[in-house]
Chains A and B, each alone.
Chain A
Amino acid sequence: MVGRLWIVLVVVVLAIAGVVALNRPKSAAVSGASTGASTTATLNVLPTTVSITVSPGQATFGDCGGGGKGDRSTPTLLGYPNGECSVGTLGANGTFPITIDNTGVPSNIEVSTSSAVPADSGTPWLPCSARGRHCTGPGGKPGVRQYEAWTAARGQADATQLTADWACDFAFDASSGCSAARGQFRKEGIKLIGPTSFGDPATSWTVTVTWIAVPP
């Protein structure tokens, strides 16, 4: 009697095992061949865009100096006439806090500046330079409602004078060009000379400097 019970038990266990085995999902190795399972792989490629990135997106002028008696610049406030401020401290041992990165295909990097707009939306200061709108102040410096600005990088022989029109950013090409290879970046600073007089009571002015990547 006990022997028969054992036989029945063994048969039942084998039957259950068989059912489980039949309904069990096939192994990965087998399924790959028989059910067409697939895998996904991502392929990253070099960008084909013309693109540029500037960091940080905003900066504050400091390291100010110059100006006349009684109206001299403080370290953070521009004085007049023709006070000077900069983003970073330019010079051989200076700091250059703005990073311009050519993140796309090889391109020419050019730069321009806007008018300086007072916080009260009054009359702006216009950029002046030797090659664009001439500076009308004494000694070729900015006149009333004018300012002059440059960008410069460490070791750069000639700073890039900024105007309202695009100009080659010479920091990118030692041979006085502005061609930049893919991934090439430069750290730059900006220097500004203010007008002989401000011509507006606003104490805060906004300037926008724009870098552009142009296909060669």
Chain B
Amino acid sequence: MFCSGDDANGRPVAARLSAADGEYPAGARLRLTRRLLTAAWAGPAGLALLIAFPGPSQASVGVGVQGVPVRLGSVARPGGSYSLAPVYVVNTGSQDESISMRVQRLSHGPGRAVPPSWIHFTGGGIRLAARESARMPLELVVPASAKPGKYLSDVVVVGAAAIAVGKTNLSVAAAAKLEFTVGQGSGQGLVLPIWTRWTLGGLLLVAAAVLSFRSSGLEVRVVRRPASSNAADHRGELPW
């Protein structure tokens, strides 16, 4: 292509814009080829880098927890403690996350809410890399004063990346149902401290022994035997 016109001073100028092969010097063709090659691989390479190492702003946060409810296989007794099956937790995000757990009533249905203090997270908080999973142990500690019946709450697993000050931090959580039943205590509803139960038991044993002894008709006679043969002479007098 051939263009012509006038410059700022009114003098005619001409410029040639053409991609014809014969019109490029060899050095210029080489440079152009290199630039085209660079552009050809730089685009996909940059895209691959973005996919492999997403920037902090595009990184995702994610968390998952087992879909099966956390259940106690037997009926819990007041005053007892029980190991629950470890809870499966997974980081579904694309970066490291800190994982924490707590108990909260979210599910609808019959049953008392589980007091959070009854569930002990023996594993504590953990950190999981992207796509990493873990099983976190739980312990149920039922106080002696627990009311019998069905209990229902949720184990809430929260995943969060490092907090960025001055930003809106978006975090995630997932919940698994927590179900168990508390049966009657050994006091059939009357829950007493352990020492009281032992004392009452001891008293009951003593009372039973006294009663059975009396009903047997046996007598215990206490007779003081004289210290010597002439003790009769001094009857009524104490020897000392």
Binding site for B on A (CB under 8 A): 47-61, 87, 98-99, 101, 103-105, 107, 110, 119, 166, 190, 204-215
Contacts and interface: CB of A to CB of B under 8 A. Distances in A.
A214 B64 CA distance: 11
A205 B68 CA distance: 39
A121 to B, nearest CB: 10
A208 B170 contact: yes
A58 B161 contact: yes
B168 A215 contact: no
Interface string B55-97: 0111111111111100000000000000000001010111100
Given A52-B63, A58-B56, 6 more contacts: A50-B174, A53-B62, A57-B61, A58-B161, A61-B168, A204-B165
Contact of A209 (B107, B168, B174): B168
Contacts of A204: 165-166
A214 B175 contact: yes
A51 B60 CA distance: 13
A54 B62 contact: yes
A49 B168 contact: no
A119 B65 contact: no
Contact of A59 (B66, B107, B156, B168): B168
B165 A206 contact: yes
B61 to A, nearest CB: 4
29 contacts: A48-B66, A49-B65, A49-B67, A50-B64, A50-B176, A51-B63, A51-B90, A51-B174, A52-B92, A54-B60, A54-B170, A56-B59, A56-B60, A57-B59, A57-B170, A58-B170, A60-B167, A60-B168, A98-B170, A104-B64, A206-B166, A208-B169, A211-B172, A211-B173, A212-B106, A212-B156, A212-B172, A212-B173, A215-B67
Contacts of B171: 54, 57, 208-211
Contact of A58 (B57, B106, B158, B174): B57
A206 B163 CA distance: 8
A100 B169 CA distance: 14
Contacts of B106: 110, 166, 212, 214
Nearest to A112: B173
Given A51-B64, A51-B90, A57-B60, A212 B174 contact: yes
Interface in B110-161: 154, 156, 158, 160-161
Interface of B: 56-68, 88, 90, 92-95, 106-107, 154, 156, 158, 160-161, 163-177
A47 to B, nearest CB: 7
Given A51-B90, A57-B93, A208-B160, A214 B60 contact: no
Given A206-B166, A206-B169, A215 B156 contact: no
B125 to A, nearest CB: 16
Q: Which of B57, B58, B166 has the most chain A CB within a 10 Å cutoff?
A: B166
A49 B170 contact: no
The 5 A-B residue pairs whose C-beta atoms are closest, nearest first, are A51-B64, A53-B62, A204-B166, A55-B60, A49-B64
A95 to B, nearest CB: 15
Contacts of B164: 58, 206
B9 to A, nearest CB: 45
B68 A48 contact: yes
Contacts of B158: 210
A122 B73 CA distance: 47
A166 B105 CA distance: 11
B60 A215 contact: no
B228 to A, nearest CB: 93
Contact of A103 (B92, B165, B168): B92
A211 B177 CA distance: 17
A206 B167 CA distance: 5
Nearest to B160: A208
Given A103-B92, A208-B170, A215-B67, A57 B56 contact: yes
A104 B60 contact: no
Q: Which of A60, A61, A210 has the most chain B CB within a 10 Å cutoff?
A: A210
